[in-house]
Amino acid sequence: MTKRHAGCVSLLIMGLAAAGFLATAQAEVVTTDQVATPALSEPGAPPDEARARIQRQLEALGVPPGTAAERAGALTQEEAQQLAGRLDTLPAGGALSTTDLLFILLIAILVALAL
């Protein structure tokens, strides 16, 4: 056996030995009932102040009252507290960053060159 083969064999053995020490990940299927918060699972739960404020802000932005109540009710407590009072300062859907625009331009150039 040459030195090169011996080195490859020793690297292979060390790699296999190290692979035995690596932790493995485990996953399992969970149901919605196991992870849903009580506020989401109880449709008749009374809205708190943060959700009521978000609902008013959505209505002021032109969302129908029923839809605004549904959207505000679907928020978790943490989400409602984060959004309350600053909903009008968040970007609306469809805002593209400079990176997005450069990526689109690159794809357009590649497609033009391919034709």
* Per-residue pLDDT tens over the stretch 64-73: 999 988 988 8
Residue 3 CB contacts under 8 Å (≥ 6 apart), including other chains: none
* Per-residue pLDDT tens over the stretch 20-73: 555 566 778 878 777 665 444 344 444 478 888 888 888 888 889 999 889 888
Are the C-beta atoms of 68 and 55 separated by less than 8 Å? yes
pTM summary value: 0.41
Residue 101 CB contacts under 8 Å (≥ 6 apart), including other chains: none
**Domains of the chain: which residue ranges?**
48-86
